[in-house]
Amino acid sequence: MKTSLKFLIFATLSFSLFSSCNPAPENNANDKLLRIVTSFKVPTLVPNESATYFLIEYGVAETPLFLDDAANLKPFLLESYTLIDEKNWKLVVRENLFFHNGKPLTAEKFAAAMNFQLQKSPATKSILPNASVKKTGERELVLTTENPNPNVPAALSDESGFPIFDVECIESTNGDADNIIQNGCYTGAYKLKSLDDREMILEKSLNYWQGSPPLDEIVVKFVPDAQTRILAVQSGEADIALYPPSEAKRILANQTNAFFNTSENSGGGPRLFFNTKRAPFNDVSLRRAVGFGINYQSLATEVFDGVFQTADGFYPPIFKFAVQNQKTDIAEAKRLLAEAGWTINQNGIRTKNGATLSAVLLTYPQQPDWVTLATAIQANLQTIGFDIKIRQVEDINAALKMDDWDFGIISPGILTSGGAPDSALQEYLTTNGEKNYGGATDSELDNLVETLSRTFDAEKRNAQLQRIQQIVIAEKAFEVRPVFTRSRVVVGKRFQNYKPSPRLHHITFDTKPSE
Amino acid sequence: MNNRFRLTKSDSKIFLRLILTRIGQAFLSVFGVSILVWALLPLAEGDTAERVLKARGVENPTTLEIQTVRDEFGLEKPLVVQYFNWLKRAAHGDFSVSYQSKRQVLTEISERLPATILLAFAAFLLSLVFSILGAMVSATFYGKFPDRVIQFLTQASSAVPSFLLGLLILQFVVVGYGFGNVVSDVSFSDAVLPAFCLAILIFGSWTQILRANLLEALNSRYALVAKARGASNQRILWRYALPNALLPFLTVVGIGIGSLLGGAAIIETVFSWNGIGSYAVQAVAARDLPVVQGFVIFATLIYILSNLTVDIIALWLDPRLRIVTKLEKFI
């Protein structure tokens, strides 16, 4: 027994030593290879299910139009689009388009893909209910909507709405992922080679309409732990780590093997909105005081170390209709509170008729940045005399439906992925809005949002949107935008110049290694 | 076979009774766990359909999307009906489909099981070697410098959090020296670092327990008699003390195997090891409740089975336990 135990010990230790000495992958990996690590798996390849935007983000599928990183809506698989009348749009399909299986993407197939989505995808049905598409010429289609809808162009660039695919190809696969991969049903610069729950491999499409993509192969590994993803870049096993925590910027500040990059622009940010149905925020002065009492610059540049952009209004400044009407003004915040009868006590907290100026701020742990944000806002508002209590909840949407909160931080966008503001305004800020958790109510705002939904003229829409922002932020202060978020990545030397997209288009035709 | 391992007719009856009792207890435990685990679904805060959509990456679902999911999961039926439907399906191994992947939970767990078994096996071997070696050295040099060093190491291994140890190993061993991979493929070579990490975490408790057993055995009367008959210290340690000390150690090892197979969740996550532990962590993060339910039931079964197996082996190896069980029958 003595001999065999000693042998076992020796064998195990030797095995450990030798097998650990696996050389790390070469840093100067193949120039045509891109290795990404991300937290999110690709759950489905079926276009009418909820998460096909993953395919668009990795350059596998494409939409008729494309909202670029500077918020410009551009033709993509469509060559052009024109308004015929309030319910009909003429769409012209680009020439020389092919699916990954080599079959041409004709106007007929284009219409079939759009109608498939309009009939079978819950997301698409919500964006354009009861719409339909007909082929009217060799490359021409007409899209007809149920009601006048100025947001059709935005809908045509919506990632969840209109990925274009070969309907026959998809239907022949019965939703089986392997069959979808083999049959090549999409149109993007990169086509699927394999997918399992550990990784997705893409290869360049040989018949892509913009030319030959610069990368031969893209390997996307699904790594749930954020620290592990960063270490994978540091060790040379990956070129790009998606979704790093914001504190990684500080950690990587002096590193030479990994770099923290953010997008130039912001596509939006969290919403801090008030429960106007009960005290204290049924008083507009107090809501406005909160708006003036938050130090937006400090949040973006100090608390989040420049990872985020200073919020100066309801919409990020890249949108043409954005108004810069949100600013820090501590003196004005104090004046508003004093005018409303709230006086400072010896603890620095304001009181009125024996009541303390306190409020419950909701946040949720699934978004760790918002917990940090809530803490910073708590500190900001303490300086003007608020006693803020932070409450973390498991399900923020469920908690907001209750009435035991005063203000809350949530993530939902203020724009669709195609850049349309109408539906978010209607849902969250109109009196009868489905998600108007805070009870915001203003007849002028209701009318403006209703008018906006029927207005096609861009200039008139901009004017309406500017007035809406004036009401929401400056006059009625239904919401505050604490920060504008930026997309962020950790990159290795080969992709040191890679800039993440604010729309999370991780891979485009232009993605290539740094010079 | 040694006589002490041979079972008499009366022993066989005790064996059978013990196994049947334990199986009955196991059924009760699983039933209790099933109620608690199923209750996660209706008791969790918020709307189940919205949670499903969130797990699928839809942050802002429309009413139509929510209704589609309600129909898909039968969420509008009464809770009792939902529970018994779930129990019936679970008894057939059907834990429904993952909210995220829409695949059968059992299929997902089965696919990851080989990876967890590989890691558990490697970690088990390393832990066994480290702890036996550590305990033997410690007992041999009791109170001296090697004993103190091992005592310090065992306490340190029990105190260090698993994620910290994993990240330190990745940072200094993999990134620093280029040994191994950060993102593991499920292979023997990639199993070494996470297995080593797991072994270090188990090493502390296993070594402490075996060391205490060894010291007790070395101070026993039979060790004194062996010494009086001229046996060397090494012979007493290997021939007499170790076999006797291993019996109580077996119970601890059994529970350890249960926890390893149940999924070394944090280590698997840190090392991107595609086992059931990391799968469970991802499911918890995404609130993918069918997966959490399937995992908890699976882990419960593993614990119960490993404890049952250890009890039976201990009873077979140690005749004194059979006597105790016989006496219990008359009390």
Residue B269 forms contact with A (CB below 8 Å): yes
Mean of pLDDT values over A379-394: 94
In this predicted structure, the answer to whether residue A50 has a pLDDT above a threshold of 70 is no
Angstrom distance (rounded) from CA A313 to CA B209: 63
Q: Residue B314: pLDDT above 80?
A: no
Q: Do B59 and A411 touch (CB under 8 A)?
A: yes
SS3 label, residue A177: helix
Do the Cβ atoms of A232 and B183 come within 8 Å? yes
| DSSP line for A253-282 | TT-SS-EEEEEEEEEE--EEEE-TTSSSTT
Instruction: Tell me the residues of chain B between 234 and 263 that have a Cβ less than 8 Å away from chain A.
Output: 238
B190 touches chain A (CB under 8 A): yes
Mean predicted lDDT score pLDDT of chain A:
90
Buried b (16+ CB within 10 A) or exposed e, A200-218: bbbbbbebbbeeebebeeb
Inter-chain residue contact B192 with A16, CB threshold 8 Å: yes
Residue B129 C-alpha, separation from nearest chain A C-alpha, in angstroms: 6
Per-residue pLDDT band for B57 (boundaries 50, 70, 90) equals low
CB contact under 8 A, A43 and B270: no
Put simply, the answer to whether A237 touches B183 (Cβ < 8 Å) is yes
Chosen for mutation from A28, A50, A121 (greatest number of chain B CBs closer than 10 Å) is A50
- Do B182 and A237 meet the contact criterion of CB atoms below 8 Å apart? yes
B127 touches chain A (CB under 8 A): no
Please compute the mean of the pLDDT values over residues A391-406 and round it to a whole number: 87
Size of chain A, expressed as the number of residues it contains: 515
List, in order, residues 6 or more apart from A160 with CB less than 8 Å away. A50, A52, A53, A121, A123, A124, A127, A417, B58
CB B287 within 8 A of CB B44: yes
Chain B residues with beta carbon closer than 8 angstroms to that of A16: 126, 192, 196
Q: Is there a contact between B229 and B100 (Cβ–Cβ < 8 Å)?
A: no
A23 pLDDT above the threshold of 70: no
Total residue length of chain B: 331
* Residue B256 near residue B206, CB atoms below 8 Å: yes
Taking contacts as CB-CB distances below 8 angstroms, the residues of chain B near A412 are 59-60
Radius of gyration of chain A (CA): 26
**Could you tell me if B179 lies within 8 Å of chain A, comparing CB atoms?**
yes
**Above 60 in pLDDT, residue A394?**
yes
pLDDT per residue over A336-351, tens digit each? Answer: 999 999 999 988 999 9
- Nearest chain A residue to B275 by CA distance is A198
Which is nearest to A388 in space by CA: A363, A354, A352, A353? Answer: A363
CB contact under 8 A, A398 and B132: no
Mark out the alpha helices in A101-166 (DSSP H runs). 107-120, 122-127, 152-156
Residue A22 has its nearest CB partner, among B47, B64, B181, at: B181
Instruction: Please write the tens of the pLDDT for every residue from B103-147.
Output: 888 998 999 999 999 999 999 999 999 999 999 999 989 999 999
Whole-Å CA distances, B33 to A290, A341, A447, B282, B297: 47, 56, 54, 21, 7
pTM score, two decimals? 0.81
CA distance B160 to B267: 13
Helices within B160-288 (DSSP H only) = 162-168, 176-177, 188-218, 221-228, 233-235, 242-261, 265-270, 276-285
> DSSP states of A49-76 as a string?
STTTHHHHHTTSS--SEEE-TTS-EEES
Indicate the Cα dihedral angle A324, A330, A334, A339, nearest 10°: -30
Contacts of B183 in chain A (CB under 8 A): 37, 221, 223, 228, 232, 237-238
Cβ contact A43–B192 (<8 Å): no
Provide, as residue numbers in chain A, all residues whose Cβ is less than 8 Å from the Cβ of B241: none
Neighbours of A198 (CB within 10 A): 17
Task: Answer whether residue A8 shows pLDDT above 70.
Answer: no
For residue B30, which of B293, B312, B314, B263 has the smallest C-alpha distance?
B293
Contact A275, A406 (CB under 8 A): yes
Inform me whether the pLDDT recorded for A488 exceeds 90. yes
Distance from C-alpha of A282 to C-alpha of A403, rounded to nearest angstrom: 13
- Contact at 8 Å (CB) between B306 and B255? yes
Interface contact flag, A228 B180, Cβ < 8 Å:
no
Q: Quick one: pLDDT at residue A51?
A: 60
A494 pLDDT more than 60: yes
Cβ(B45)–Cβ(B278) below 8 Å: no
Q: How confident is the model at residue B330 (pLDDT cuts 50, 70, 90)?
A: low
Q: Tell me which amino acid residue B176 is.
A: G
Nearest CA in chain B to A427: B62
Contact A206, A217 (CB under 8 A): no
pLDDT in tens, B201-243: 888 889 999 999 999 988 888 888 988 888 888 888 888 888 8
Asked if the C-beta of A285 comes within 8 angstroms of chain B's C-beta atoms, the answer is no
Residue A451 pLDDT level (bands cut at 50, 70, 90): very high
Q: What is the ipTM of this complex?
A: 0.71
Determine the pLDDT at residue B325: 59
Q: Do A20 and B180 touch (CB under 8 A)?
A: yes
Distances from the Cα of A483 to the Cα of A49, A313, A377, B155, angstroms: 32, 9, 11, 45
Q: What is the pLDDT of residue B21?
A: 80
